[in-house]
């Protein structure tokens, strides 16, 4: 009897190790498929900053800078920022596409500026809802929330928020001056084509798929689409082929 119990325990431990190995293998493959761009100018008035596997973006307006996301490490982001000949103090506002650490942890560098995030992200920000079983903590930085489809005029720029739930409930795209679209972790961009983001990191991939279809109907005037982990493209309509209304 004792031997049988021991055998079952060993089988259970074996299965747990197998499941964990598969999870981490999947994670590695997902991370490997990502392709952030090196720090530098990526479009007229737009600069990418690379911090590990993620990009955050600086946009230069007529009267100041705006950040889309903040990267993972404030010290590294500061160095990259200065390598672009700019000063983080010039940043007038920070917009977060969502609350994940790789987008939010550079926030202390911009503590002088308001940090905006969707009100739909509140369950994660307050710690009421957990991202992963091992990631449940209230958001560490001061923030202001915006409602879905809000708009801002800051630094001489016009910024519209487009709700894009799925990756997280409050995931948001930002449309700047009607032509630059920042999508955060709403989508992947592989060989120039839009697809779902890496599913292991999505809270609701079905919802994300709906958000991508919704976004596809709003890209008529978009000149460049910037993702947070997969680079950017100026062939925006081609990128969304497969997600357009008449492709269903
Ligand atoms: Zn991310």
Q: Encoding tokens for residue 91?
A: 């940043």
Identify the residue with better confidence: 30 or 119: 119
How many A from CA of 155 to the centre of ligand 1? 26
Are β-strands 151-154 and 180-182 bridged in parallel, bridged antiparallel, or unpaired?
unpaired
**What pLDDT, in 10s, does the model give residues 19-35?**
888 877 877 777 777 88
How many A from CA of 102 to the centre of ligand 1? 5
How many A from CA of 157 to the centre of ligand 1? 25
Interatomic CA distance for residues 210 and 206, integer angstroms = 7
**What pLDDT, in 10s, does the model give residues 152-206?**
999 999 999 999 999 999 999 999 999 999 999 999 999 999 999 999 899 999 9
Closest CA to 121 of 139, 105, 103: 139
Alpha helices (H) in 40-86, listed in sequence order: 74-83
Its pTM stands at 0.90
Contact 158, 86 (CB under 8 A): no
How many A from CA of 229 to the centre of ligand 1? 7
Give the start-to-end residue ranges of the domains of the chain: 1-32, 37-247
Is domain 37-247 annotated with CATH 3.60.15.10? yes
| pLDDT value, residue 245 | 60
The mean pLDDT value for 55-77 works out to 97
Interatomic CA distance for residues 71 and 183, integer angstroms = 15
- Cβ < 5 A residues, ion ligand 1: 102, 185
């Amino acid at each position: 009897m004792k031997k049988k119990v021991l055998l079952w325990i060993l089988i259970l431990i074996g299965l747990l190790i197998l499941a964990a190995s598969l999870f981490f293998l999947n994670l590695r493959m997902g991370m490997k498929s990502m392709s952030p761009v090196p720090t530098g100018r990526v479009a007229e008035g737009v600069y990418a900053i690379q911090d590990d596997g993620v990009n955050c973006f600086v946009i230069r307006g007529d009267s100041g800078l705006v950040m889309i996301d903040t990267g993972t490490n404030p010290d590294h982001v500061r160095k990259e920022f200065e390598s672009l000949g700019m000063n983080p103090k010039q940043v007038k506002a920070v917009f977060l596409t969502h609350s994940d650490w790789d987008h939010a942890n550079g926030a202390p560098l911009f503590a002088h500026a308001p940090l905006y995030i969707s009100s739909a992200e509140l369950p994660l920000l307050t710690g009421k809802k957990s991202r992963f079983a091992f990631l449940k903590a209230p958001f560490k930085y001061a923030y202001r929330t915006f409602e879905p489809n809000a708009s801002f005029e800051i630094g001489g720029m016009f910024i519209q928020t487009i709700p894009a739930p799925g990756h997280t409930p409050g995931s948001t795209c930002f449309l700047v001056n009607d032509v630059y679209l920042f999508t955060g972790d709403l989508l992947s961009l592989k060989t120039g084509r839009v697809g779902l983001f890496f599913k292991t990191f999505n809270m609701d991939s079905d919802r994300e798929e709906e958000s991508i279809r919704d976004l596809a109907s709003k890209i008529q005037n978009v000149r460049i689409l910037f993702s947070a982990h997969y680079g950017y493209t100026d062939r925006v309509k081609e990128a969304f082929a497969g997600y357009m209304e008449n492709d269903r």
